[in-house]
Structure 1
Amino acid sequence: MKAGYYVGDYTYEVRDIPDREPEKDEVRIRVAWCGLCGTDIHKFQGKNGASIVVPPIILGHECSGIVESVGPEVDYFKPGDRVACDPSYGCGKCEWCQKGLPNFCKVRHGVAKGFAEYVYPPEKNVYHISDDLGLKEAAFAEPLSCVVHGLDLINIQSGKTVVMYGMGSIGSLMLQMIKYSGAGKIIVVERESEKRAIAKELGADLAVSDQEIEELSKYENFNYVVECIGLKQTMEQAIKVAGKNAKVLLFGLGDPEKPVEFNQFEAYTKELSIFTSYLNPFATERAVKILESGILDTDKIISAELNLEEIGSELKELNYSRKGKVMVYLSREN
């Protein structure tokens, strides 16, 4: 089968590797679609994603597909089932898994390398999807589950004002989920005018530049600020513009070599709560249900549909990733 590898030194290769039958509780899935994630780009650029990266590795983890075969210990899936995957494995036995925090599992690793024609996750990482949900949309289950976990942490109260930074693919999901949380007012911070227009279409009350949000913060008390970009300057500004008694969620994946700085005395006098969000513990089923409900517009988020070979150029040039979500098609079933 074909698989797309990051092999180190800004190099991506499509390789032919052996296919195999599933073992024990593995579910062999014929991948239909897989999203290109910002962490895939981080890995290609020689940085770590959610975990330390040691190439060569198969990229991709936001995948959906059709069950082709199952291992002898699988109970709830059969060939032909339409499914989405949670790519993050928790052993279930270590102290963090026992505490209900599998995102901190001592032996956690990825089990759905989606830039491949087949993946073999354990049964506990596989989720049925309804016949009404397209497989392309179902591939959004993993990034959406991360959004769900992040919003769980800050628990947005209805009627409050939320500022959100960044209308990339994850920000576009985040914005729609904030809208359905019952926020009273949503302000999106985005430099590109085209993306500001999309923000208004997806539910923002205002869409402004980073200069404009600083002016607004002088007159309005922002209750929540959600940063979905991961740049040092936007994370620092997110903390700066947050209002009194506000919650700040630094959701974007930052550069470990560029630590964030902020005025701790100002944060103290505003009594800020600063959150980060790591992975998606116990959120995938909810993400699937949200996608099945049809309340989210994923079509507006997709900027390109590419095959495995075309991803090599995209990782170098980021022509489409800057505009939205790049979807990688394998079997292209829907």
Structure 2
Amino acid sequence: MRAGYYVGNFEYEVKQIPERNPVDDEVKIKVAWCGLCGTDIHKFQGKNGASKVIPPIILGHECSGIVEAVGPDCKYFKVGDRVACDPSWGCGKCIWCQQGLPNFCLERHGVAKGFSEYVYPPEKNVYHISKSLDLETAAFTEPLSCAIHGMDIINIQSGSTVCIYGIGAIGSLMIQLVKLAGASKIIVVEKESEKRKLALDLGASLAIDDQQVLDICKKENIDYVIECIGLNVTMEQAIHIAGKRAKVLLFGLGDPDSTIRFNQFEAYTKELSIYTSYLNPLTSQRAINLLESGLINTKKIISARLSLEEMGNELKTLKYSKKGKVMVCLSGDH
């Protein structure tokens, strides 16, 4: 089978690797679609993703597909089932898993390397999807589940004013989740004019640049700020523009070798709460429920549908990633 590898030194290769039968409770899934995540780009650029990266590694983890075979111990899936994956495996036994926090599992690792024609996750990482949900949309299960976890952490109250930095794939999902949470005003900070139009289309009340938001925060209290870019300048400004008693969620993945600066006295006098969000503990089914409901629009977020081979150039140029979500077409099934 074909698989797309980051091989180190800013290089990507599609290799032929052996296909195999599933063992134990594994589910062999013929991958239909896989999203390109910001962490894949970080890995390609020589940085870590959610954990340390040692190439060569197969990229991708936001995948969906159709079950082709199951291991002898698999109970809940059969050939032909349409499924989505949670790529993050937890042992279920360590002190963190025992607290319902598998994202901190002492043995956590990825079990669905989606830039490949087949993946073999254990069945506890596999989720049924309805026939009404197309497989391309189902591939948004993992990023949406991560966004849901971030929303759980800050617990947005209805009637609040929320500011979101960045309208990439995650920011576009966050707008929709924030609207569903009942925010009365959603301000989006985005430098690209086309993305500002998308933000308004997805439900933002206002889409502005990073200079305009400085004027707004002087006039009104911003209750929540969600930073979805991961740059030092936007993370620092997100903390600065937050209002009194505001909650700030630094969701965007920053450079692991960089630090941000903020005025502690300013944060102190505003009683700010600053949060981060790590992975997607036990939120995959809720993500699928939302996708199946039709309340989340993913089609407007997609900027390109590319083959495994085309991903090499995309990882180097980010031509389409700068515009939205890039989807990798494996089987292309719907």
TM band (smaller chain): over 0.9
Secondary structure of 2:69's partner? strand
1:6 maps to: 6
1:322 maps to: 322
2:298 maps to: 298
1:191 maps to: 191
Q: Which AA in structure 2 matches 1:135?
A: L
The offset of 1:100, in angstroms, is 1.1
Q: Identity over aligned residues, as a percent?
A: 71
The offset of 1:256, in angstroms, is 1.6
Secondary structure of 2:42's partner? helix
The offset of 1:6, in angstroms, is 0.3
Mapped to 2, the partners of 1:292 and 1:99 lie a distance apart of 29
Secondary structure of 1:309's partner? coil
Mapped to 2, the partners of 1:99 and 1:34 lie a distance apart of 30
Mapped to 1, the partners of 2:90 and 2:11 lie a distance apart of 30
Mapped to 1, the partners of 2:148 and 2:296 lie a distance apart of 13
Mapped to 2, the partners of 1:87 and 1:70 lie a distance apart of 17
1:77 maps to: 77
1:227-261 alpha-carbon deviations (Å, 9 max, x no partner): 00000000000000000000000000001222111
The offset of 1:196, in angstroms, is 0.6
Q: Which runs of 5+ in 1 are unaligned?
A: none
The offset of 1:105, in angstroms, is 0.4
Mapped to 2, the partners of 1:67 and 1:138 lie a distance apart of 14
Q: How does 1:213-292 map to 2 (within 5 A)?
A: 213-292=213-292
1:155 maps to: 155
Q: Which AA in structure 1 matches 2:208?
A: V
Matching of residue 110 in structure 1 with residue 96 in structure 2:
no
Q: How does 1:10-21 map to 2 (within 5 A)?
A: 10-21=10-21
2:99 maps to: 99
Q: Which AA in structure 2 matches 1:242?
A: A
The offset of 1:296, in angstroms, is 1.2
Q: How does 1:34-53 map to 2 (within 5 A)?
A: 34-53=34-53
Mapped to 2, the partners of 1:174 and 1:315 lie a distance apart of 24
Q: Which AA in structure 2 matches 1:239?
A: I
Matching of residue 31 in structure 1 with residue 41 in structure 2:
no
Q: Which AA in structure 2 matches 1:310?
A: E
Secondary structure of 2:97's partner? helix
Secondary structure of 1:95's partner? coil
**TM-score (normalised: structure 1):** 1.00
The offset of 1:309, in angstroms, is 0.2
The offset of 1:193, in angstroms, is 0.8
**Deviates further, 322-331 or 253-262:** 253-262
1:108-127 alpha-carbon deviations (Å, 9 max, x no partner): 00000000000000000000
**TM-score (normalised: structure 2):** 1.00
Mapped to 2, the partners of 1:260 and 1:99 lie a distance apart of 31
Q: Which AA in structure 2 matches 1:284?
A: S
Q: Which portions of structure 1, spanning 4 or more consecutive aligned residues, are displaced by more than 2 angstroms?
A: none
Mapped to 2, the partners of 1:295 and 1:125 lie a distance apart of 24
1:85-134 alpha-carbon deviations (Å, 9 max, x no partner): 00000000111111111100011000000000000000000000000000
The offset of 1:280, in angstroms, is 0.1
Q: Which AA in structure 2 matches 1:208?
A: I
1:254-293 alpha-carbon deviations (Å, 9 max, x no partner): 0122211100111011000000000000000000000000
For the aligned residues, what is the CA RMSD?
0.4
Mapped to 1, the partners of 2:295 and 2:199 lie a distance apart of 16
The offset of 1:18, in angstroms, is 0.2
Q: Which AA in structure 1 matches 2:230?
A: G
The offset of 1:297, in angstroms, is 1.2
Secondary structure of 1:249's partner? strand
Mapped to 2, the partners of 1:126 and 1:19 lie a distance apart of 19
Mapped to 2, the partners of 1:285 and 1:298 lie a distance apart of 17
Q: Which AA in structure 1 matches 2:55?
A: P
1:136 maps to: 136
1:61 maps to: 61
Mapped to 2, the partners of 1:231 and 1:202 lie a distance apart of 23
